[in-house]
Amino acid sequence: MKKEKEEISVVWFKRDLRLEDNEAISNALAGNKRVLLLYAFENLLLQDEHYDQRHWNFIKQSLVDINKRLAQFNTKVLTVQSDIINFFNQIQNTYKISGVYSHQETGLLATYNRDKDFTRYCRNNSIPWTENINNGVLRGLLNREDWFEKWEDYMNQPLIASSFHKDQFLSIEEIESIEKYFQKVNLSTPISKQFQHGGTETAWKYANTFFENRHKNYMYHISKPAESRESCSRLSPYIAWGNVSIRQVYQKAKSYKNETNKRHLGAFVSRLRWQAHFIQKFEMEHTMENASINKGYHKLKKSISKEYKTAWKEGQTGFPLVDASMRCLIATGYVNFRMRALLVSFFTHILWQPWQEATHHLSKMFLDFEPGIHFPQLQMQAAETGINNIRIYNPVKNSLEHDEDATFIKKWVPELKDLPTPFIHEPYLMTPLDQQFNNVILGKDYPKPIVDAKQARKYAADILWNMKDDPDVQVENNRILKKHTLSDRRRMLNSD
C-alpha cells in the first residue's frame, strides 16, 4: 500500500532572515505540523539588474548565522537555487504542504508578479498561503489616515517569541535528502573587511555598540562622510535583509531613551519612522519603480549621455567629493544619506540625466538596497515628486562643509591626497604651474570637471522651478498629498 505523505508547513524566508520576532515562523509552528524552513535563490532575482554579488554574499552569511543557531535543534534552512513554483512542484512529490508562511514583501515588480503567480499556484493546489505584515507596512491602503498611529501601535506590541525544539522541524538528514533534487548552493563567501558581514549576531553587535556609545555623536556627524561611518548605527543592511526587525530596533532604542543623549536617539527613532513611511508609499504606488510618481514630470525629457554616466559610475567626474562618495560606495557598499543624495543630485541635476539611468548602478552598490526606500528617494532627490523642496546639492559647498580637512576625499581619491587642502576640494583651480609643482596633471592624473557645475545648476534649477507651476504637476501634487501625506507630520518627526 502506498505510504501516505506527511503533512508539513513551509516557512518561506524572503527579507526576514532571522529567527526572533518572525511572525511567519510563529504562525507555522502554531499549525502543529513539522516545519521546513526555506530560502530560494530565485533565478528571476539572480538575473535581475538591481542585484549584485554583494547582496547574495550578505544573504548567504545571514543563512549561515541562522543555521549555526538551528544546529542544536538538528535542523537548518533548506537552501536551493530554484524558482519558487518549481520548488513546490518538486517538494510535493515527497510531502503534502499544509501551509506556506511568509511576510508580505514590498519588493520589485518582478517579485510582485511572482507573488501573484504563486497565489494562483497555491489556490490551484489547495495550499493555504499566510502572509504577515512586515515591519508595520500595510497592504491595500487607499490613504494615510491613522497610518502613523497604526504603525506606532505595531512597534509597541510585544516581540514575537518562539520556543524551538527538535521535533518541530524536519531534520538535517531529511533536508539533505531534499537538496539533491536541486542545484547545490554554496553558502561560503569571500572574507572581506570592506563589507559588513550578514547575520543577526553581527547585527546586534552593531546595535549594541551604537546604543551604548556610538550614538553620542549621531546628530553631529550624520552628514559627515567620514565620521558618519562610526557615529551612524550602520544597521541599514541588517534591517533591509531582515536580520533584525524594525520593531526590535525600535524597542531597543526606546529602552535607552532616558539617557543623557536621548536627543540623538530620538533623531534615530524618527528615521525608523520615515523608513517605514517611504516603504509604505512604495507599497501604495509601485509604479514608482519605473516612472515618476508625479505624472506631470513624465513630460520632462533628458538626453542620456554614456560619457557622463560612465564617469559618474566610476568616480571620475572631476568633482572630488562626488568621486570619493562613489568610489567608497563601490568598495564598501555604504555612504551616508547626504552623500547618497549628493550622488543622485549630481547625476540628475548637474549631469542632467534621467533618474532611471541611476537605478541599477546604485541598487547594485547599496548593500542595504531596499526597493521601498530606493525608488521614492531617487525621485525625491531628482526633484520629480512635485511636493518636496528642490535641492540641487553643490558638490564643492558640501565638500567644504562636511569634509573640511578632506579626510574622506584623501582616502578615496588618493591621487589628490598630497595636494594642499584647498586644491583637494577644487583641483581645477590649479594653474598649469600649480599642477607641475604638485605633480598632479588634470586630465591625466585626475579628470578635469566633466561639466561646468555652476552653469548646470542654474539650467536645472530654472527648468525644475518652472515645472512646479505646470498645471499637470499641480494636479498630481493634490493627488499625491491626498493619498500619501500623513495627517500629523510634526508628530511623526517628534513623537517619543
Give 10-residue mean pLDDT values along the chain (496 residues).
86 98 96 96 97 98 98 97 97 96 96 97 97 92 88 96 92 96 94 95 97 94 97 98 97 82 89 93 94 95 97 98 98 98 98 98 98 96 92 96 98 98 97 97 98 97 94 94 72 46
Please give the pLDDT value at position 495.
44
Domains of the chain, start order? 7-134 (3.40.50.620), 201-283 (1.25.40.80), 295-484 (1.10.579.10)
Cα 269 to Cα 148, 296, 452, distances in angstroms: 13, 34, 39
Residue type, 139: R
Grid cell, residue 290, equals 519605473
Report the run of H or E that residue 10 belongs to, with start and end. Answer: strand 6-12
Which of 39, 40, 20, 63 is CA-nearest to residue 164?
20
Q: Are 450 and 307 in contact (CB under 8 A)?
A: yes
Neighbours of 178 (CB within 10 A): 19
Q: Which residues of 372-393 are buried (b: 16+ CB within 10 A; e: fewer)?
A: bbbbbbbbbbbbbbbbeebebb
Distance CA 121, CA 309 (A): 42
Cα dist from 249 to 113, 120, 182, 240, 308, whole Å = 31, 35, 36, 12, 40
Determine contact, residues 381/345, Cβ cutoff 8 Å: yes
Determine if residue 243 is left, alpha or beta; phi over 0 gives left, psi from -120 to 50 gives alpha, anything else beta. Answer: alpha
pLDDT the model gives residue 492: 46
pLDDT score of 496: 43
